[in-house]
A = this chain, B = another copy of it.
Amino acid sequence: MSVTIKDVAREAGVSVATVSRVLNGSTNVSEDSSARVNEAISRLNYSPNFLGRSLRRCETNVILCIMPTSEHSLYSRIVSGMQRRADELGFDIVTAVSSGTSAAEARQMNMLFNKTVDGVVLLSTQFEAEELNRLAKNYDIALCCEGVTGADLLTVAVDDESAAFDAVTTLINKGHKDIALIGTNSESTSSHAREDGYKLALEMAGIPYREEYIYRDTYDYHCGGDALEQFMSLKERPTAIFAVSDLLAISAIHKASEMGIKVGSELAVMGFDNIFMCEMMVPTVSTVEQPCGKMGELVVEKLINNIRSENKDNGYYTVEHKLILRSSTGD
């Protein structure tokens, strides 16, 4: 059916070994042979079978990126960065969406076990630290964007606590004292770290922590609006809100707008992630930007190093965040 290296060899009048040498850029081939092989290749429209090659070489040069959803511009941008660097290093990136379920994630991890891919990058995971540590012993796995407490494997992420600290401190410097937090009950470490940063910022400014200014639910869109409703039902309404994700911030802004509250002047709102929508909203949304492209590049580079090397780097690499101030905080 398909044209193989044998066909090329026959067509070029050389052995398969010579064809293979040409394919892999070996120097030990005469110009004449090389030319005849290349000619045969294009004449037959030959494309090497990577299954054979990978089986023989015990490597695929493919990295799988598993993400909970592809509907998050944060992830898309990380993947773009991964692709950029992978391309330079001769690797391909393929992605799979786990929908945040451990069943799907486990199934997709099979591609690692059955040698379909050389390594995996997890953008947020359902696996426990223990399980990850066990897996990382035998396979090349990395976390990106979202660390796991207690997991001892290659990780690239922003310093969530310090980023949240900066965000809230910015609100404080604008004169706000009554600052509410929209957090989550999820097990995600980033959510907790951002909450820690919020608390620290208040503490450093000598502002008392008030339990009624904290709303915790899930990352689901409607929770932002729910939080806002609750905050606005308080006697002492907050004048500013820090949400641990842009989507929650946007939902809160949406609800505020419905309630006739002027976001930007009457109420300041700050999100986290800098998703595209932040610029499209009315008002535009202030937020903390994660350097997605850079995170993707870095994690791929480190992971490929691990794939190629014996002694694994299981470091935790922190990348710089950046505050983006827009209309929702009156900027």
Give A residues with C-beta under 8 Å from B. Answer: 1-2, 47-52, 54-55, 58, 60, 62, 64, 69-71, 73, 75-77, 79-80, 83, 92-97, 99, 108, 110-111, 113-116, 221, 250-251, 253-254, 257-258, 276-277, 280-282
Contacts and interface: CB of A to CB of B under 8 A. Distances in A.
Given A254-B280, A282-B282, A47 B96 contact: no
Contacts of A281: 280-282
Given A95-B96, A97-B80, A115 B50 contact: yes
Contacts of A49: 55, 114-115
15 contacts: A2-B115, A47-B110, A50-B115, A51-B115, A52-B55, A55-B55, A70-B95, A71-B73, A71-B76, A71-B276, A79-B97, A80-B97, A93-B96, A94-B94, A257-B282
Contacts of A114: 47-51
A75 to B, nearest CB: 7
Contacts of A79: 70, 97
A172 to B, nearest CB: 28
A109 B99 CA distance: 26
Given A48-B114, A55-B52, A114-B48, A70 B76 contact: yes
A78 to B, nearest CB: 10
Contacts of A55: 49, 51-52, 55
Given A75-B70, A76-B70, A280 B251 contact: yes
A128 to B, nearest CB: 18
B110 A51 contact: no
Contacts of A70: 70, 75-76, 79, 95
Given A52-B55, A94-B96, A114-B49, A280 B277 contact: yes
Nearest to A2: B115
Contacts of A221: 280
Contacts of A113: 47
Given A73-B71, A80-B99, A280 B250 contact: yes
A51 B116 contact: yes
Q: Which of A51, A97, A254 has the most CB of B within 10 A?
A: A51
Given A55-B55, A75-B70, A95-B70, A50 B280 contact: no
Contacts of A83: 97
B76 A69 contact: yes
Nearest to A250: B280
Q: Which of A94, A257, A258 has the most CB of B within 10 A?
A: A94
A2 B94 CA distance: 23
A116 B50 contact: yes
Contacts of A54: 51
Contacts of A69: 76
A55 B282 CA distance: 54
Task: List the 8 closest pairs (A to B, CB-CB), nearest first.
Answer: A47-B113, A50-B114, A94-B94, A51-B55, A71-B76, A70-B76, A257-B282, A71-B73
Nearest to A75: B70
